[in-house]
Amino acid sequence: MELRLLTDPAFAEEFDTVVDEVADEYVGNEVEGADRKRIEEYFLQSTERQNKARFASALLEAAEERSGKVATKARVVVIPKPDIIERATSFWRERAFALRVATTVAILIIVVGVVYLNRPHTYTSGNYASLNLTITASDRASGIETKTVKLSPVTAGIRIELTLPDQIPQSSNYRVELMDEQQASRNLPVVERRSQSLVVAVPANEIAHGSYIIHLYAVNPDGSEQRIRGSYFFNVD
Alpha-carbon gap, residue 204 to 216, rounded angstroms: 21
Alpha-carbon gap, residue 96 to 76, rounded angstroms: 30
Claim to verify: residue 88 and residue 159 sit in the same structural domain: no
Domain final position from 92, 117, 142: 117
Domain final position from 82, 117, 152: 117
Which residue spans within 32-188 are E strands per DSSP? 128-134, 147-149, 157-163, 173-179, 185-188
Claim to verify: residue 201 and residue 96 sit in the same structural domain: no
Claim to verify: residue 63 and residue 139 sit in the same structural domain: no
Non-local CB neighbours of 86 within 8 Å, separated by 6+ positions? 45
- How many distinct structural domains can be found in the chain? 2
Q: What is the pLDDT of residues 8-53, one digit of tens each?
A: 888 888 988 888 888 888 888 888 888 888 888 888 888 888 888 8
Q: What is the pLDDT of residues 110-152, one digit of tens each?
A: 988 777 666 554 445 458 999 999 998 876 766 678 899 998 8
The rounded percent of the chain whose pLDDT value lies above 90 is: 23
Claim to verify: residue 150 and residue 113 sit in the same structural domain: no
Q: What is the pLDDT of residue 179?
A: 93
Give percent helix, percent strand, percent coil of the chain, each to the nearest 5: 40, 25, 35
The answer to whether the CB of 121 falls within 8 A of the CB of 29 is no
Residue 37 domain-assigned?
A: yes
Q: What is the pLDDT of residue 19?
A: 86
Non-local CB neighbours of 136 within 8 Å, separated by 6+ positions? 144, 230, 231, 232, 233
What is the residue range of 176's domain? 128-236
Claim to verify: residue 164 and residue 226 sit in the same structural domain: yes
At residue 202, does pLDDT exceed 60? yes
Residue 123 domain-assigned?
A: no
Q: What is the mean pLDDT of the chain?
A: 81
Q: What is the pLDDT of residues 65-75, one digit of tens each?
A: 777 665 545 45
